[in-house]
């Protein structure tokens, strides 16, 4: 119900058909706020704007100050209706009572949008009440019923000889039942579910074969016919077994699984070759053919011919497979081996030896002379190999060390960070004109036997110069000597 106000009337500062923006109180009246309206209150209002008018309800908002418009009736000077009129700034709005706000005494209330009948009497239930009456107000709280008779509201009512029909569910744990066909209709097949053993049932829903039901997990069976059981455990107890084909059907091939050695079997499911089964891990074999075993230990074997073993040399020039197949022991020289244990990395051999690959080798040539071979690099050359160049040449690695560079034009430039102390090579001017030998950045040249240094050095026609690195690295020094070098 809208809030009633006393003598509240205000000017309007907004225009149009939307929410009103309120101005000040009209002379002789008070504002809505002074009349007791709070923010959010709903009031009944009337708007007058010349001959146009409008009545309705609206929500008052104190911030603004505004009043929304829900039109009950209006007149725009031409047409009556329920649309809001378009107000001007000459409009005034005031609080009033609408017909719906009035209490009718002794008359017909019509169909009010809402009403409170706290103290109402004489209301006819069958025609005057709509909706569902809750239990707390004397109703059932439901709108449907099943069957006839009194309404049952309790969750644990006392029922006397009721006809239950076919209930969807129920708990009969504390009920007393007659035996089947005693005061009951139908047959035992009408019972659904599974009757437990404790209630005189079997506890199961299926059966196999005919005869009495066996419920015990350890029953005593007298001469049963087991048929073909899917599984069984005969590991305990005492059993008398017939031999095969004695009171049994089929043959030994009908046995599934693996028969253990203790039960007269082999304990295995596969065989290799023919003959008697070999079960021991250390059997005595007489002249067996081993074939090609994947592994074996022949520590205590004798009489093994070298020609019969793969992976060993049968002569000085024959190797049938790979000698790496020997994993331990020392192969005698008479069998194509060295006759020594190479664990100390020392082998004494009389005769010529051909070796390849990377290795360190120390050999005693005479009683007073020994030669030690380096682990890397080369032993040098018996001559001075030639490197031919027909244009300006700048070495980028040490591949020219120990060789002579034969150049016809352009000269040679030597850079830092290539050579080490002791590296030496020769330059031959293979032309009829002088050529330069130039030092690169951070490289020092010294002319042998003099105090002269600097670059470039000049090598006359067909001259020969030897270049010796005396200090290597990033700032190397080279000593140059030779015929035709200045």
1.10.3210, 3.30.60, 1.10.357, 2.60.120: CATH of 386-485 = 2.60.120
Percent of the chain with pLDDT over 90: 40
270-303 burial, b for 16+ CB within 10 Å, e for fewer? eeeeeeeeeeeeeeeeeeeeeeeeeeeeeeeeee
pLDDT at residue 308 in the model: 56
Give the pLDDT mean for 14-29: 96
Residue 21 near residue 66 (C-beta atoms within 8 A) = yes
What is the distance between the alpha carbons of residues 137 and 143, in angstroms, rounded to a whole number? Answer: 15
Give the pLDDT mean for 145-150: 76
Give the pLDDT mean for 271-281: 74
pLDDT at residue 311 in the model: 54
What is the distance between the alpha carbons of residues 453 and 437, in angstroms, rounded to a whole number? Answer: 13
What is the distance between the alpha carbons of residues 411 and 463, in angstroms, rounded to a whole number? Answer: 12
Sorted by where each begins, the domain ranges of the chain are 9-101, 386-485
What is the distance between the alpha carbons of residues 408 and 430, in angstroms, rounded to a whole number? Answer: 5
Q: How confident is the model at residue 177 (pLDDT cuts 50, 70, 90)?
A: low
pLDDT at residue 76 in the model: 94
Q: Which of 32, 52, 100 is nearest to 72 (CA)?
A: 100
What is the distance between the alpha carbons of residues 29 and 330, in angstroms, rounded to a whole number? Answer: 131
Q: Which of 66, 124, 115, 122 is nearest to 93 (CA)?
A: 66
What is the distance between the alpha carbons of residues 165 and 159, in angstroms, rounded to a whole number? Answer: 14
pLDDT at residue 346 in the model: 57
Give the pLDDT mean for 96-107: 77
Quickly list DSSP for 120-145: -----HHHH--S---GGGTS-S-S--
Is a pLDDT exceeding 90 seen at residue 118? no
Quickly list DSSP for 310-360: TTSEEETTEESS-GGG--SS---GGGTS-SS-GGGS-----S-----SS--
pLDDT at residue 245 in the model: 46
* Residues whose CB is less than 8 angstroms from the CB of residue 3 and which lie 6 or more positions away in sequence, other chains included: 36, 37, 41, 42, 43
Top pLDDT among 385 and 248 is at: 385
Please state which of the ranges 1-15, 96-110, 321-335, 447-461 shows the lowest mean pLDDT: 321-335
User: Any idea which residue has 């008697």 for tokens?
Assistant: 276
Top pLDDT among 319 and 108 is at: 108
Is a pLDDT exceeding 80 seen at residue 435? yes
Q: How confident is the model at residue 320 (pLDDT cuts 50, 70, 90)?
A: very low
Top pLDDT among 94 and 310 is at: 94
pLDDT, mean over the chain: 79
User: Any idea which residue has 């007269």 for tokens?
Assistant: 264
Top pLDDT among 227 and 50 is at: 50
Residue 418 near residue 460 (C-beta atoms within 8 A) = no
Top pLDDT among 174 and 15 is at: 15
Percent of the chain with pLDDT over 70: 69
Is a pLDDT exceeding 50 seen at residue 279? yes
- CA geometry: angle 374, 380, 385, nearest 5 deg: 155
Top pLDDT among 328 and 126 is at: 126
Is a pLDDT exceeding 50 seen at residue 160? yes
152-176 burial, b for 16+ CB within 10 Å, e for fewer? eeeeeeeeeeeeeeeeeeeeeeeee
What is the distance between the alpha carbons of residues 479 and 469, in angstroms, rounded to a whole number? Answer: 7
pLDDT at residue 224 in the model: 78
Q: Which of 423, 463, 413, 422 is nearest to 443 (CA)?
A: 413
pLDDT at residue 15 in the model: 96
Give the pLDDT mean for 354-382: 60
Q: How confident is the model at residue 375 (pLDDT cuts 50, 70, 90)?
A: low
Please state which of the ranges 14-28, 91-105, 365-379 shows the lowest mean pLDDT: 365-379
**482: which 2 tokens?**
């030779």
pLDDT at residue 316 in the model: 42
Q: Tell me the pairing of strands 404-407 and 386-389.
A: parallel
Q: How confident is the model at residue 53 (pLDDT cuts 50, 70, 90)?
A: very high
């Amino acid at each position: 119900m809208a809030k009633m106000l006393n003598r509240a009337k205000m000017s309007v500062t907004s225009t149009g058909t939307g929410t009103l923006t309120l101005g000040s109180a009209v002379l002789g009246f008070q504002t809505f706020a002074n009349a007791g309206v709070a923010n959010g209150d709903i009031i009944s209002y009337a708007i007058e704007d010349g001959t146009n008018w409008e009545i309705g309800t609206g929500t008052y908002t104190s911030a603004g100050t505004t009043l929304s418009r829900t039109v009950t009736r209006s007149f725009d000077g031409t047409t009556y209706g329920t649309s809001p009129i378009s107000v001007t700034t000459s409009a005034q709005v005031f609080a009033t009572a609408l017909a719906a706000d009035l209490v009718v005494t002794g008359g017909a209330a019509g169909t009010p949008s809402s009403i409170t009948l706290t103290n109402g009497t004489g209301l006819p239930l069958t025609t005057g009440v709509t909706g569902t009456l809750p239990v707390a107000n004397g109703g059932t709280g439901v709108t449907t019923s099943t069957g006839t008779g009194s309404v049952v509201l309790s969750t644990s009512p006392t029922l006397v000889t009721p006809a239950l029909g076919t209930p969807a569910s129920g708990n009969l744990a504390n009920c007393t039942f007659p035996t089947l066909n005693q005061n009951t209709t139908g047959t035992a097949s009408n019972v659904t579910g599974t009757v437990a053993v404790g209630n005189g049932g079997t506890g199961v829903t299926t059966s196999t074969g005919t005869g009495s039901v066996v419920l015990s997990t350890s029953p005593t069976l007298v001469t049963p016919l087991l048929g073909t059981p899917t599984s069984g455990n005969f590991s305990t107890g005492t059993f008398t077994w017939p031999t095969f084909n004695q009171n049994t059907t089929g043959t030994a091939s009908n046995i599934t699984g693996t028969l253990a050695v203790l039960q007269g079997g082999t304990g295995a499911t596969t065989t290799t070759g023919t003959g008697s089964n070999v079960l021991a891990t250390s059997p005595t074999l007489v002249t067996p053919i081993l074939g090609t075993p994947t592994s074996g230990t022949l520590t205590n074997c004798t009489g093994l011919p070298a020609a019969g073993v793969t992976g060993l040399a049968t002569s000085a020039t024959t190797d049938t497979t790979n000698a790496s197949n020997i994993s331990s022991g020392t192969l005698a020289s008479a069998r194509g081996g060295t006759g020594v244990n190479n664990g100390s990395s020392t082998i004494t051999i009389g005769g010529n030896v051909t070796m390849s690959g990377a290795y360190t080798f120390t050999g005693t040539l005479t009683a007073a002379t020994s030669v030690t071979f380096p682990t890397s690099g080369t032993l040098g050359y018996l001559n001075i190999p030639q490197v031919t160049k027909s244009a300006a040449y700048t070495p980028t690695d040490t591949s020219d060390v120990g060789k002579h560079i034969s150049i016809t034009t352009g000269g040679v430039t030597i850079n830092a960070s290539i050579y080490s102390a002791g590296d030496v090579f020769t330059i031959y001017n293979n032309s009829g004109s002088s050529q330069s030998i130039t030092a690169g950045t951070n490289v020092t040249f010294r002319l042998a036997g003099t105090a002269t240094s600097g670059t470039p050095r000049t090598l006359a026609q067909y001259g020969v110069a030897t270049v010796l690195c005396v200090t290597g690295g990033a700032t190397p020094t080279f000593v140059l000597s030779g015929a035709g070098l200045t």
